[in-house]
Amino acid sequence: MILLTSTQREQLLANGRQSDVDHVPVVKFFNPLGSGVWLATELDRDGDILFGLADLGFPELGSWSLGAMQAVRLPFDMRIERDLHFTGDFPISVWADMARRAGGIREAERILYSGARAPSTPTPKPTDTQSRKH
């Protein structure tokens, strides 16, 4: 599998030229056999160093090498994959905050796309006007 389409590469490079922006992730990579999820928002002009949110057991913002990711060989001749259905939809700061509160990117994704609340976020109680039937 190609980890980056030409369109994704161009968007990541464009985002890399505007590093002071809270970008929406362009692409999601994952380990199909275990831990490891990456959300990339930017690509350096060298074409190798990605920036975004990485989760190898604890989510954190940082940089990693696309070449190193492509070189990973997993059991059963598998490799790191790109999520073909990922859309991003939220700025990386939202992903990072939710992933830290939820315990990982996969958990954050379930919460963000289900409309559910993050763990330890109290559910507001209805007010008198909210609880009345109209």
Task: Return the number of other C-beta atoms located less than 10 Å from residue 23's C-beta.
Answer: 21
pLDDT of residue 55: 98
What CA–CA distance (Å, rounded) separates 120 from 74? 35
Summarize pLDDT for 82-98 with one digit per residue, the tens.
Answer: 999 999 999 999 999 99
In the chain, the amino acid numbered 123 is T
Of 72, 67, 87, nearest to 33 by C-alpha is 72
What residues in the chain have per-residue pLDDT under 70? Answer: 116-134
What CA–CA distance (Å, rounded) separates 129 from 116? 23
